[in-house]
Structure 1
Amino acid sequence: MSRTIKFAQAGGPEVLEFIETQVPEPGTGEVRITVKAIGINRAESMWRLDDYIEPVKFPAGLGYEAAGIVDAVGADVTGIAVGEEVNVIPSFSMNQYFTYGEIITVPDYAVVKHPKSLSHVEAASVWMMFVTAYGALIEDAKVGKGDFVIVPAASSSVGLAAIQIANYAGAATIALTRTSAKRKQLLEAGATHVIATDEVDLVEAVMSITDGKGARVAFDPVGGPNFPKLISALAFQGTVYIYGALADGDTPIPVLAMIAKMPSIKAHNIWLTSGDEARRKAAVQFILQGLESGALKPVIDRTFKFEDMVEAHRYLENNGQFGKIVVTV
């Protein structure tokens, strides 16, 4: 028997329920894992609200990331053995698989070997944030020396990952945060520059930093009414990757600024990378090398116990964290 967390209707954190179920044997191409830690993501909050990129099929499980120990493997699974420490990389629909459980079953393509230098808590935090940032900044934009990368919501887990990955590639980062309260933390986390957007003019500050040229890339999980400022802060023919919707309401497109700057606006999500075997392997290799070298480091804001998952979701939605929230099992 295993406790899993499910919800029968969309709503706030209180809709999450602990369900005790018999653990099935893994099917063909599946791996069963005894979970030690679970990474908590904004996507799961959106999923719980039925406000995500695909509709929820109720009753639903949730969760994209976990670290644990292989308990059993199904037919046709190769390269993964019972007793091995592994992680789960987001690469599936939560309508099919989930990680909020004491014992979980996931597809073998979602399983990666546990990085030896990391604890279970650290390993449960790294894959969503680093693969998401890698896909946009390395795989697509190919950022490097001489590039400036604007990172809105920089204190989020993916924001911090973007700072680290851009730095690793040799680019300079411009971290955006609403006030100066997190400036020191962001600089310590590797940001080259920090702009407090409630305190100074964003476009003027970016232009000052970039000698009037603007940034080649912006990596934005926010959208909303400030989006036109990002367009104005770009270099000519720069690129904005939009991968989230933290701001309420519509995201306006500034037509004249678009004509002047001729930017590319690209929607981005992790599936472009994690859903393709070759790209997924390249991402994993890049991230493992970064972790081993120390260039990439997990940033854990706070841990909760499995029993306190509802409180973990409430904390997530307060938007005050610096880094990743992880739940231990």
Structure 2
Amino acid sequence: MKAIYFNTGGTTDVLQHGEVESLSQCGDKQVLIRIKAAGINPIDCKIRTAPQRFPVTFPVIPGCDGAGIVESVGTQVKNFQPGDEVYFSQPGFNNRQGTYAEYVLVDASLLALKPRSLSFEQAAAAPLVFITAWEALHDRARLTKGQTVLIHAGAGGVGHAAIQLAKLAGAKVITTVSSEEKAHFVQQLGADYIINYRTHNVTAEVLQWTDGNGVDIAFDTVGPEVLQSCFGCVKPYGDVVTILQPSPETDWSEARKRNVRFSLELMLSPVLLELEEAKRYQGEILRQCAALFDENKLTVKIARTFALADAAAAQQYLEQNQPAGKIILAL
């Protein structure tokens, strides 16, 4: 089968396009998927750059997100059958491989039927970012109706998913962007207050908009400097959630003073740690999201689509441009 793969870590130059060994028969709880589209996420680039940090097998086929058609199922799989159109997110850890390929073996517990209203390309853009945003807001921060949420980088993959989920839950949303184009995009998603972080002091703007109280939840999707600023934006006894590794230089004194509840969100954990119940939960999140997509209550934005052979250019585009929405490989 054709795939994108690499044998050593490095820049996008290490990515190769060619024939790799065809996949073997399904395991008892696996499903063989013929990939129609694959989503590109920042984690793909991190694995390519430093594969030694992850439990991958060489040659590495990158990619977590995928959408496609079921080709065959394992003996213990009862809820999927050949011909089903599905979508999923599965990192290529612990002897698995990724989605930048014509076929992939997927744990059945991670699968959900593709939203009928979405194309394969749209469906492939959704899983990782919507699972991440769902777990961060509902499970880590325990979002409730009427709360105010600060979502950093609202035009990004996780950010644009988080805005929609927060609004569906009845929250007020403050978000940060870097341009007028992105401000228009997040306004369409329902953001209540938009801050251009290039031209305004985010903490001052948040406190002004909340009458000096701060937000109930601050969601960091960017990294250490933004995480640090979250502690000054959240109200006492509020929540801060990050999807990035905090820096050793993080100053926790403001968080401690405010008695902030701090949470880490890593949607890769179910596969990384082989947690079957957590895998099933992520599959359930995708089933619920599929219903919301089909009810026109959620949307997913594709920034640009590339051919499988152009995966190196696609990853380079993601790293250099930080686009609004998701990058997709179409097969």
The TM-score normalised by the length of structure 2 is 0.91
- How many residue pairs get aligned? The number is 325
**Higher mean Cα deviation, 190-199 or 91-100?**
91-100
> CA offsets, 1:270-295, max 9 Å, x none?
14678515533542343123212222
Q: Go from structure 1 to structure 2 and tell me whether the alpha carbon gap of 1:90 and 1:174 turns closer, same or farther (over 3 Å shift).
A: farther
> CA offsets, 1:231-289, max 9 Å, x none?
001011111111036xxx93643343223211122111114678515533542343123
Unaligned runs of 5+ in 1: none
State the distance in 2 between where 1:313 and 1:223 align: 19
Q: How big is the shift at 1:53?
A: 6.1
1:174 aligns with 2:174: yes
Q: Find the counterpart in structure 2 of residue 143 from structure 1.
A: 143
1:212 aligns with 2:209: no
**Higher mean Cα deviation, 99-108 or 6-15?**
99-108
Mapping of residues 119-198 of structure 1, within 5 Å: 119-198=119-198
Choose between structure 1 and 2 for higher RCO, CA contacts under 8 A separated by at least 6 residues: 2
State the distance in 1 between where 2:9 and 2:119 align: 33
Q: How big is the shift at 1:52?
A: 8.3
State the distance in 2 between where 1:94 and 1:326 align: 25
Q: Find the counterpart in structure 2 of residue 319 from structure 1.
A: 321
8 A Cα contact 2:56 2:92, kept in partner: no
Partner SS, residue 218 of structure 2: strand
Q: How big is the shift at 1:7?
A: 0.6
Q: How big is the shift at 1:179?
A: 4.4
Q: How big is the shift at 1:228?
A: 2.5
Q: Go from structure 1 to structure 2 and tell me whether the alpha carbon gap of 1:295 and 1:267 turns closer, same or farther (over 3 Å shift).
A: same
Q: How big is the shift at 1:200?
A: 1.5
Q: Find the counterpart in structure 2 of residue 112 from structure 1.
A: 112
State the distance in 1 between where 2:227 and 2:283 align: 33
Letter in structure 2 aligned against 1:327: L
Letter in structure 2 aligned against 1:8: N
**Higher mean Cα deviation, 125-134 or 44-53?**
44-53
Q: Go from structure 1 to structure 2 and tell me whether the alpha carbon gap of 1:314 and 1:271 turns closer, same or farther (over 3 Å shift).
A: closer
Question: Cα RMSD (Å) of the superposition?
Answer: 2.2
**Higher mean Cα deviation, 290-299 or 164-173?**
290-299
Q: Go from structure 1 to structure 2 and tell me whether the alpha carbon gap of 1:51 and 1:187 turns closer, same or farther (over 3 Å shift).
A: farther
**Higher mean Cα deviation, 93-102 or 49-58?**
49-58
Q: Find the counterpart in structure 2 of residue 20 from structure 1.
A: 19
Partner SS, residue 254 of structure 1: coil
Unaligned runs of 5+ in 2: none
Q: How big is the shift at 1:321?
A: 0.7
8 A Cα contact 2:126 2:300, kept in partner: yes
State the distance in 1 between where 2:46 and 2:82 align: 33
State the distance in 1 between where 2:51 and 2:109 align: 26
Q: How big is the shift at 1:51?
A: 6.2
Letter in structure 2 aligned against 1:289: A
Letter in structure 2 aligned against 1:42: P
8 A Cα contact 1:70 1:81, kept in partner: yes
8 A Cα contact 1:60 1:95, kept in partner: no
Q: Find the counterpart in structure 1 of residue 4 from structure 2.
A: 5
Letter in structure 2 aligned against 1:261: R
Letter in structure 2 aligned against 1:228: Q
Q: Find the counterpart in structure 1 of residue 312 from structure 2.
A: 310
Partner SS, residue 134 of structure 1: helix
The TM-score normalised by the length of structure 1 is 0.91
Partner SS, residue 293 of structure 2: helix
Percentage of pairs with the same residue: 28
Q: How big is the shift at 1:207?
A: 0.9
